[in-house]
Amino acid sequence: MSKLLIIEDEKSLARFIELEMQHEGYETTVATDGRSGLQLALSESWDAILLDLLLPELNGLEVCRRIRQSNKTIPIIMITARDSVLDRVSGLDSGADDYIIKPFAIEELLARLRSLFRRVEALQTNEVTTLDFKDLVVELESCVVKKGETVISLTKREYDLLITFMSNINIVLTREVLLNKVWGYSTGVETNVVDVYIRYLRNKIEDPNEGHYIHTVRGIGYVMR
């Protein structure tokens, strides 16, 4: 039975989500503030976390950052009423795997969870332990990225994006495909979010004097070649 941690201060919503998840066979625990939610997240083993953005004591962005700083790779879905591109980017950049906006249909939340679990399972069953391209090497088991002998620090979203490119060398990927592969779904986040993360990733892995690793294919998308 999968274990879910629900960190949500709206008690009626938290209870609704809890009952629906239990009906689907999930084992659930609810925290109603960021500090207690973070403590539970770090002290126990979870299959996924549903995390509200606006929380008392410690907001969702900070909770997410601290979970990722502890090297925990628990799938996290951010739940919030904020729907601007900046808010979405902030939530995803803090380490969240997905983002759902209130009000939402419970069927959509369940679909997002299933998508996350499929991605985790695919990574766990992948026998490949490293990916390499030119002087870039990704050690999949330890999630370490190196350029030559230098370790490059990436956010989880940047890391997932790099893995997608390095698994599809010389294949042109549209923004929609990248959203589907990296964010896990093709709607709900504007495609310009992809452009933002491409820029972040390029700044970290590319040297202007060495040329691009990730190339823009005008009117289509991006390719690593």
- Report whether pLDDT(29) > 50: yes
pTM score > 0.85 for this model?
A: no
Domain extent at residue 134: 127-224
With both helix axes pointing from N to C terminus, report the angle between 60-69 and 85-93 in degrees, rounded to the nearest 10.
30
In terms of domains, do 200 and 114 share one? no
Report residue 1's pLDDT band, with 50, 70 and 90 as the boundaries. confident
In terms of domains, do 17 and 114 share one? yes
In terms of domains, do 89 and 131 share one? no
**Count of domains for the chain:** 2
Going by the DSSP 8-state scheme, the letter that residue 179 receives in this structure is I
What distance in Å separates the CA atoms of residue 142 and residue 35, rounded to the nearest whole number? Answer: 28
- Report whether pLDDT(183) > 80: no
In terms of domains, do 182 and 80 share one? no
Single residue among 124, 144, 173 that ends a domain in this structure: 124
CB of 173 within 8 A of CB of 166?
no
The residue-averaged pLDDT of 103-113 equals 88
**Counting beta carbons within 10 angstroms of the beta carbon of residue 157, is it exposed (0 to 12), middle (13 to 18) or buried (19 or more)?**
buried
Task: Give the percent of the chain with pLDDT over 70.
Answer: 88
Q: Which residues contact 153 (CB under 8 A, 6 or more apart)?
A: 204
- Per-position b or e across 48-82, b if 16+ CB within 10 A of its CB: bbbbbbebeebbbbebbbbbbeeeeebbbbbbbee
Single residue among 124, 143, 165 that ends a domain in this structure: 124
In terms of domains, do 115 and 208 share one? no
Give the pairing of strands 48-52 and 221-224. Answer: unpaired
pLDDT of residue 127: 53
